Structures are given as C-alpha cells and as structure tokens.
C-alpha cells in the first residue's frame, strides 16, 4: 500500500524530536509530511535533520488548515494523520493501515479510558460527543475526536471544503464519511502524555466544543435532531392548551399554547430544510464514487 503520513505541527519541536526518527525508521517507504503551522521554535530544523518534507504556513492558520495543506500535498493512496506532540505511537500506524486494507475508507485510532485523555473535562466532553454521534449513525463510535486516523486520500479530498480550520476537523470528517456511506472502522490505541504545552484554550474551545454538538447533527441528519425538539415544544404547547381548558372548564387556546405549537412547527420546518440542504451537499460526492 502506498501511503503518506501527515503531521500538523505548531511549536512541536520536543514531540517531533522524540518520535520522527522512529517513524522514519519504521516506514522508510512512506511519504512523511510535516505541516509547520507558523511555528516559532525549532520545529523546521528538527524535520530537516530527519529528512522529512516540510510545508510551512507563513502564519498560524489552525490545525484543520494544516491538515488540508498536508492532504493536498500528499500523493499516497491513503493518508495517516497523527499529532506532532508525541502522544501517538509510530508502531500503531501499521495497525491502522492493516485495517484499511480490509476495506475501510476511514480508520480511527480510538483512545480508551480517562488515562488517554488530557483531562477529566476533555474526557467528559468527548464522552458526550461519542454518545451523540453513536445515536446519530446507529453505530457505536468509541472515539469521535481522535486526530490519529487513516483515510482514503481521494475520498478525503472530497470533504476538504467541509473541514474547519480549527481543531474540530476529526469530528467533521468522521461524520462526513458516515453520511456518504463510506466504511468507518476503529482500532483501539493508547496514547502518551503530550510533550510541550497544549494549544487548547478553555474558554474559546469550550464554546467551540458546544458548537460541535450542533455540527454533529447538521453534518449527518439534521431532522433527527430537529424533530425531537420540535415534538417537545409542540407537545408542551398541547399540554398547556389542555391544562388551560381543564382549568377554565371550556376549550381555551391561550397565547402561550399557540406560540409553543407554532414554534415547534417552525423548528420542524427548519430541520426539514436543513435535511434537504444536507442531501444536496453530499449529492456530488455520492455521484462521484458510484
């Protein structure tokens, strides 16, 4: 299998120095691309010393933007994405590739347990994402946000326009592959503590993680999220109507009942419109790989 390894890196000198030589030694035939996302440390020097390809952004554009730059430059049939902070074991690359050879279009290295997460808060948030995504696709998703993954390059390129420039590209790409009907597999992995400081900001990324919850639904099947909300709002409106009627002894439609029922209908129509837009969004991709 011809494959490329793409590593987004911003000030990851310490982590790259730790695992790049091992990675190069284990997979001498692989194309290894490090995308330098505006680093100010010795990231480029470390890469040059090991002899891997370096693509440099003139300023920091974000983890997702680095992934897109690496994917465009890669030439392998498959691309393995891994973090530059030293958390991922280079030997696990082969395990992902073996699974891809079984016919999977996307293989995710799934972390397990609290020890594989940066903090309790991150573990809790990821658990919520995993449960919601599993409900959406009717299949267990053990790790939605892992950055260690192997993808079919051409199919991944179809979704570049969907990927954000920030850190939520794993979520977006995973749900996009499920939505397009591609085969998605998972391989359990263990990760090491990251080297260097994290680029996660609690306040900024806390809001971003909240938005991911809504993105999961809109990427896969918006109506599956909107319909229960619409039914709940309209149902509360009907309950209010019945309560008011019983309390007054006659049929009585209150302003609150009308507002809630109409709000539920509007939410449903928004979901229906979103569902149609989602179908159009994936129409070209579906036709291109029939």
Chain center to CA of 100: 18
Question: Which among 277, 288, 85, 52 is positioned nearest to 181, based on CA atoms?
Answer: 288
Total number of domains in the chain: 2
Q: What is the mean pLDDT of residues 53-66?
A: 95
Domain presence at residue 213: no
pLDDT at 4: 97
Identify whether residues 166 and 266 lie together within a single domain. Answer: no
CA gap 174, 148 in Å, rounded? 12
Identify whether residues 228 and 141 lie together within a single domain. Answer: no
Domain boundary among 203, 232, 257: 203
Identify whether residues 110 and 145 lie together within a single domain. Answer: yes
Work out the pLDDT band at 251, boundaries 50, 70, 90.
confident
Domain presence at residue 214: no
pLDDT at 288: 52
Identify whether residues 61 and 90 lie together within a single domain. Answer: yes
Domain presence at residue 209: no
Q: Over the chain, what is the mean pLDDT?
A: 87
Identify whether residues 16 and 160 lie together within a single domain. Answer: yes
pLDDT at 285: 58
Identify whether residues 268 and 152 lie together within a single domain. Answer: no
Q: Give 3-45 pLDDT, tens digit per residue.
A: 999 999 999 999 999 999 999 999 999 999 999 999 999 999 9
Q: What is the pTM of this model?
A: 0.79
The CATH number of residue 51's host domain is 3.90.550.10
Domain presence at residue 217: no
Is residue 207 packed enough to be buried (19+ CB in 10 Å), middle (13-18) or exposed (0-12)? exposed
* Structural domain that includes position 274: 222-288
Q: Give 142-186 pLDDT, tens digit per residue.
A: 999 899 999 999 999 999 988 888 778 898 899 989 988 999 999
CA angle 87, 105, 23 (to 5 degrees): 30
Which stretch, 165-179, 184-198, 274-288, has highest mean pLDDT? 165-179
The full DSSP string for 9-52 is ESS-HHHHHHHHHHHHHH-TTSEEEEEEES--SSHHHHHHHHT-
Is residue 259 within 8 A of residue 251, CB to CB? The reply is: no
Q: Give 98-148 pLDDT, tens digit per residue.
A: 999 999 999 999 987 655 555 566 677 788 888 888 888 889 999 998 999
């Amino acid at each position: 299998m011809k494959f490329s390894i793409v590593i987004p890196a911003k000030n990851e000198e310490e982590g790259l120095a730790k695992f790049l030589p091992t990675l190069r030694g284990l997979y001498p035939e692989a194309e290894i691309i490090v995308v330098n996302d505006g680093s100010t440390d010795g990231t480029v020097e470390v890469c040059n010393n090991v002899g891997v390809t370096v693509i440099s952004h003139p300023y920091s554009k974000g983890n997702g933007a680095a992934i897109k730059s690496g994917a465009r430059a890669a030439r392998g049939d498959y691309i393995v994405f891994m973090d530059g902070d030293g958390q991922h074991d280079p030997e696990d690359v082969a395990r992902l590739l073996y699974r891809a050879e079984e016919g999977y279009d996307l293989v995710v290295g799934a972390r397990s347990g609290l020890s594989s997460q940066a903090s309790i808060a991150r573990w809790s948030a990821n658990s919520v994402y995993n449960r919601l995504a599993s409900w959406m696709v009717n299949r267990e998703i053990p790790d939605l946000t892992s950055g260690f993954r192997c993808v079919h390059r051409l199919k991944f390129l179809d979704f570049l326009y969907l990927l954000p420039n920030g850190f939520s590209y794993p979520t977006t790409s995973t749900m996009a592959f499920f939505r397009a009907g591609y085969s998605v597999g998972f391989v359990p992995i263990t990760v090491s503590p990251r080297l260097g400081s994290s680029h996660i900001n609690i306040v900024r990324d806390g809001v971003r993680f909240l938005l991911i919850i809504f993105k999961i639904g809109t990427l896969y099947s918006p109506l599956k999220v909107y319909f229960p909300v619409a039914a709940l709002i309209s149902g509360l409106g009907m309950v209010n109507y019945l309560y008011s009627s019983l309390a007054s002894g006659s049929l009585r439609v209150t302003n609150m009942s009308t507002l809630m029922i109409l709000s539920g209908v509007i939410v449903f129509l928004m979901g229906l419109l979103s569902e149609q837009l989602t179908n159009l969004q994936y129409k070209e991709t579906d036709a291109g790989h029939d």
